[in-house]
Amino acid sequence: MARPTSATIHTDALRHNLAQARARAPHSRVMAVVKADGYGHGLERVARALEGADAFGVAALSDADRLRAAGLSQPIVLLSGFDEADDLPQLRRLGVETVVHHHSQLAMLEQAGEGEPIRCWLKVDTGMHRLGFAPEDVREAYARLAALPAVADGIVLMNHFAASDEFERPQTRDQQRVFAQATAGLGGARSLANSAAVLGWPDAHADWIRPGGALYGISVVEGTTGADFDLRPAMTLSTRLIAVNRVRKGERIGYAATWECPEDMNVGVAAIGYGDGYPRAAPSGTPVLVAGQAAQVIGRVSMDLMTIDLRGLPEAKVGDPVVLWGPELPVERIAEVSGTIGYELTCSITRRVRFVES
């Protein structure tokens, strides 16, 4: 029998979430961020479901290549920008737009040979201090770009927020102010908002929003799940019980014997582990659903298997479905107890997991 571990991708949910993003930012165009294989949901599958987006955002030229090979003709933006001169002919061939965040890229564009002009998104570092031109360097970078034959008309000005998921924190306001000052008077569309800013900072919607996580139904706002923002999870991760064993009081379960049975009890073994992308950091007590009912992980998650406390579920039997996350069990809850965010969990699903669409 094939391993019963699967990730079911809910394409309706992807479309619903795109509509929600549009409804929240009715005056903005939407770049659907599909980097990291569509946050682990499958790049081509996600892009087809989201073909109503105005553009796609990727982090690798190879992803742009895949989108074009899949027949998608929307604008594509390379979010971390090109990093060598040899990327430029590829950008032109694929008709891909690029973020420009560094002087080294300006120099490469100045040396670019003849060819189709490339649309550029000029990135301003407004306080995240990852990528972008310092505010005081933006005008010069803009002028150099605008003068180049290799650069298409209509430079877009963008930034990236560091803490937009914290709705009470002043940092996002400060970053907006720095952006407005650095770009005052420069022509072109503006783009500031990632998912959390789409949800919590309507002033920052501007001309282009760039949601990623929200499209997959995942919230990064602490203590919330996508459902709190009318978003629907786009992935259900599931498997089956492959054993149900009676274990005596005082016996210990799994590697390092971390969990001791407080009484004689049934222990379920599910065919999923960190080799599938389920987090090893998920502690005893992490929720799962067995045949639709709440149960808990006990002991260490291992590579191929996990063990489940079946004390509340006397009927549970081999073959019962086990849901690790999905619409009935938010991935944000699993992420929280595992010390991470939902994005990392969906991105971590490995290739041996069977992907299906529903």
295, 308 contact by CB (below 8 A): yes
Kindly tell me which residue out of 38, 40, 81, 211 binds ligand PLP, with binding defined by CB under 6 A: 211
Taking contact as CB under 6 A, which single stretch among the options 44-52, 168-176, 211-219, 246-254 is the one that binds ligand PLP?
Answer: 211-219
With binding defined as CB under 6 A, does residue 10 bind ligand PLP? no
Residue with tokens 């965010």: 341
User: What is d(CA 313, CA 153) in angstroms, rounded to the nearest whole number?
Assistant: 64
With binding defined as CB under 6 A, does residue 79 bind ligand PLP? yes
With binding defined as CB under 6 A, does residue 200 bind ligand PLP? no
CB 68, min distance to ligand PLP, A:
20
Angle between helices 87-94 and 61-69 (to 10 degrees): 30
Q: Which residues are CB-contacts of 174 (< 8 A; sequence separation ≥ 6)?
A: 126, 127
User: What is d(CA 1, CA 79) in angstroms, rounded to the nearest whole number?
Assistant: 42
CB 159, min distance to ligand PLP, A:
9
Taking contact as CB under 6 A, which single stretch among the options 12-20, 46-54, 144-152, 209-217 is the one that binds ligand PLP?
Answer: 209-217
With binding defined as CB under 6 A, does residue 28 bind ligand PLP? no
303 marked among binding-site residues: yes
SS3 percent helix, strand, coil of the chain, rounded to 5, is 30, 25, 45
Q: Return the number of the residue (219 or 236) whose C-beta is nearest ligand PLP.
A: 219
Q: Return the number of the residue (231 or 244) whose C-beta is nearest ligand PLP.
A: 231
Binding mask 133-172 for ligand PLP (x = CB under 6 A): ---------------------------x------------
Taking contact as CB under 6 A, which single stretch among the options 4-12, 44-52, 205-213, 266-274 is the one that binds ligand PLP?
Answer: 205-213
User: What is d(CA 118, CA 150) in angstroms, rounded to the nearest whole number?
Assistant: 6
Gyration radius from the chain CA atoms: 23
User: What is d(CA 208, CA 352) in angstroms, rounded to the nearest whole number?
Assistant: 36
Q: Return the number of the residue (61 or 196) whose C-beta is nearest ligand PLP.
A: 196
Catalytic entry in 249, 255, 278, 343: 255
Q: Which residues are CB-contacts of 46 (< 8 A; sequence separation ≥ 6)?
A: 9, 14, 32, 34, 38, 39, 215, 234
130 marked among binding-site residues: yes
Q: Return the number of the residue (3 or 232) whose C-beta is nearest ligand PLP.
A: 232
CB 110, min distance to ligand PLP, A:
24
Whether the CA torsion 336, 340, 343, 344 is positive or negative: it is: negative
How many Cα atoms within 13 Å fall on the side-chain side of residue 135? 14
Q: Return the number of the residue (80 or 284) whose C-beta is nearest ligand PLP.
A: 80
Residue 123 annotated among the catalytic residues of the structure:
no
What is the four-CA torsion angle of 100, 104, 105, 106, rounded to 10 degrees?
A: 90
Contacting ligand PLP within 31-50 (CB under 6 A): 33, 35
With binding defined as CB under 6 A, does residue 210 bind ligand PLP? yes
> Which residues are registered as beta bridge partners of 297?
308
Which residues contact ligand PLP (rule: CB under 6 A)?
A: 33, 35, 79, 160, 194-196, 210-214
Q: Which amino acids are annotated as binding site, given as ranges?
A: 130, 303
> Which residues are tagged catalytic?
35, 255
